[in-house]
A and B are shown apart, each in its own frame.
Chain A
């Protein structure tokens, strides 16, 4: 399963960033695929990006709500909400574990041999504040003279934008150097901190700061698929806990909001105490051979 996940992460990262004509054209891809959002965090200003960024799209829609011309309707952006909500309800945070290019970068960095540390648990709540404040409230409330809000998460924090968008664009268009502001250097410092932290703490950005992960996690306890514990098989040997990149204890809380459904715990469990499949409705009878389950 782990090798298969690496393959999927590699293919998705390369496949959704495969516009290779950017040195010869208009710097970034400008085509119909940009009407589709990536399910993970992937900056649409990356010269090779084929898809739009869902977090950037949400902020821009919210930022435009108060800039309504006379008699016009605001562009609500329910399409992106529907798209992300649909994914969240179907599979929860599975895109974080399998499809997100920035998550993949962090997985690669965490392979670097170095001392590994656990995350201080209360920090995981910061991502919900990032979602509410930087993605929703500031774009809605801080508007310029034209009534337009800014994408404050992109502006102040997004490391994917700095790594995949800003740095390649500045290399391709050196004239941009003249226009860089405090925001760029702020984001460069944050990017370095986040990438270094990912070496020592697995999935640091996903667990602490990612607003997309925070949004998907709202659905973790009601997704169509789920991780399930076969209680009779579990001996609480902690193998699943040691293998988990987000510090979840699957045998205690298989539906944890921190679980990115990478399924490394399934590989780690020698007693076949964990399964992954469709969630059972409370009224459904259990299959006779499944044994008592938690999930």
Chain B
């Protein structure tokens, strides 16, 4: 296994867990539950 990849996996896992604990899940769910006006070209 390449060492660099293992360190990156550890780093990104920490990033992921940090985000989950800082409330990113709720933010993302609220975001996904609203229609993205930019996506449909309104405003």
Contact = CB atoms under 8 A, between A and B. Distances in A.
Interface in A154-190: 154-155, 158, 161-162, 165-166, 169-170, 176, 179-181, 183-188
Given A37-B28, A45-B40, A281 B12 contact: no
Given A78-B22, A165-B40, A176-B42, A28 B12 contact: no
Contacts of A80: 19, 24, 28
B28 A34 contact: yes
A61 interface: yes
B2 A222 contact: yes
Contacts of B39: 43-45, 56, 151, 154-155, 158, 161-162, 165-166
Interface string A175-217: 0100111011111100000000000000000000000000000
Nearest to A226: B2
A161 B38 CA distance: 9
B38 A81 contact: no
Given A45-B39, A151-B36, A86 B9 contact: yes
Interface string B3-21: 1110011011111111110
Interface centre among B3, B16, B19, B36 (most CB of A within 10 A): B36
SS of B interface (majority):
helix
Interface size class of B (residues with CB under 8 A): 35 or more
A44 B29 CA distance: 11
Contacts of B8: 85, 89, 219, 222
A28 B30 CA distance: 12
Interface centre among A76, A77, A78, A223 (most CB of B within 10 A): A78
A30 interface: yes
Contacts of A28: 33, 35
A184 B19 contact: no
Nearest to B15: A82
20 contacts: A31-B33, A35-B28, A45-B39, A76-B19, A79-B16, A79-B25, A80-B24, A81-B19, A86-B16, A89-B5, A89-B8, A90-B9, A151-B39, A162-B40, A165-B36, A183-B43, A222-B2, A223-B5, A224-B9, A281-B3
Ranked nearest first, the 7 interchain pairs of A and B with the lowest CB-CB distance are A79-B19, A184-B41, A82-B16, A34-B32, A82-B15, A161-B39, A79-B24
